[in-house]
Amino acid sequence: MKNPTTQTNRLSYLDGVRGLTALYIVLNHATLNIVLQDTAGAMSKGVRSMTSWFANGLLSVQIFIVLSGFCLMLAAVGDGGRLRGGVPGFALRRARRILPCYYGAMAFSLLLLAVVPGMAALDPSDRVTRPGLISHLFLVQNFSTGWITQIDPPMWSLSIEWQIYFIFALLLLPLWQRLGTLAALAAAVGIGYGIHWFTKGVADYSQPFYIGFFGMGMAAASVAFGTSRFAERARRLPWGIIAAASYLMFLGIMKYVHSKKVWMISTQFLAFAVACGLLALVTANPKKLNLRGFLEWKPVLGIGHISYSLYLTHFPVLAALYALIHRWSLSPDAEVGVMIAAGVPLSLAVAYVFYRFLELPFFGGSKAAKARAKAAPAVALAAAVPVAE
């Protein structure tokens, strides 16, 4: 197995996974309000059936968390488990990568709430409060159900991910160095369930189980690129088959068992399936895996490059658009059509602007790498979205 630092340049298809996941979440939020407000059942069966395919936005967030654990662990494995610059250096790099776009998107959302007629009235329970604003500034909005959906609801997952970064650097990575992959994974899953049991489920809304999902991503990267005997043996397992079996378990539990406790267990199967799927992508023979080619298709990669900005900004864009078209008294089917046909391209365009000005300037690496990062999304998105001559 080659050194992970030489392999990561070949993992561009991970951006493709990010892109498809982000696009799915955009489609979920583009149709969610319409479905929820269609209490009279005016939506046609065909459109309702189509929107049902986009109904699992929360589960898609789990894919991002697993990917985050996988990608952060890649660098750690390549450096022998050491963080460049130690924990302070790691925290600074994460802050430079995450916070500028986060705070920019928060200001953007607050601006739209202030100037778009009717946008704030769509859900009065989510009105912005001073504690809610402060919690967003310090990325602790997941600590209260009253804060978690204010300003820009998808941002709640950024707060838990930000907190996981410190658990990773201070606990999970040292455990991995001393006791190995399984110990780090067990600790990550144990912390999540420990918070659940300690609070008797009160803190479940903040999704502490995501710590375990992050740990699964870590474990997948450790197996894929580690040099230990355990990693070398584990790479021989049929990870594609294991991923498929785990995903089928998840679907079976979701379909036939309706219980909060069982749902929490079922999501573990989904996260495990994602981690195993990443292992299958990395370890499979590229010539026999056409999926990589699709994930590296320019339009998919382009969305992947801007996926962080897209995740942060799409909700206020869609909420503002919905507030405007809701005044036109359209049918639910027509609203869905407008939200997808206009809302998705508009979300992509806004995300690219944020990527260009609030992500790229804070990227590390050489000038050449930054130039490639600058060009790639524009070229790919031009291929994905037709532009009038």
> DSSP states of 279-343 as a string?
HHHHHS-GGG-HHHHHHTSHHHHHHHHTHHHHHHHHHHHHHHHHHHHGGGT--HHHHHHHIIIII
pLDDT confidence of residue 363: 82
pLDDT confidence of residue 102: 98
Cα separation, 379 vs 132, whole angstroms: 38
Q: How many CA atoms lie within 13 A of 345 on its CB side?
A: 10
How many angstroms from the chain centroid is the CA of residue 208? Answer: 15
pLDDT confidence of residue 388: 34
Cα separation, 227 vs 77, whole angstroms: 9
How many angstroms from the chain centroid is the CA of residue 17? Answer: 10
pTM attached to this predicted model: 0.89
User: Residues 14, 20, 23, 25: is their CA dihedral positive or negative?
Assistant: negative
Question: Could you state, in order of their start, the residue ranges of all structural domains in the chain?
Answer: 56-96+154-284
Residue 53 in tokens: 């395919």
Mean pLDDT of all residues in 36-60: 81
Question: Do residues 299 and 384 lie in contact, with contact meaning Cβ atoms separated by under 8 Å?
Answer: yes
Looking at per-residue confidence, does 366 or 148 come out higher? 148
Quick one: which of 278, 235, 385, 355 has its CA closest to 64?
278
Quick one: which of 94, 31, 15 has its CA closest to 322?
31
User: Model confidence over 80-120: pLDDT tens digits?
Assistant: 788 888 999 999 999 999 999 999 999 999 999 999 987 86
Task: Flag the least confident range among 74-83, 194-203, 376-385.
Answer: 376-385
Residue 159 in tokens: 């707060």
CA-CA distances (angstroms) from residue 166 to 17, 92, 94?
A: 25, 11, 10
User: Model confidence over 170-193: pLDDT tens digits?
Assistant: 999 999 999 999 999 999 999 998
Cα separation, 302 vs 23, whole angstroms: 11
Torsion from C-alpha of 321, 324, 327, 331, nearest 10 degrees: -20
Cα separation, 149 vs 12, whole angstroms: 32
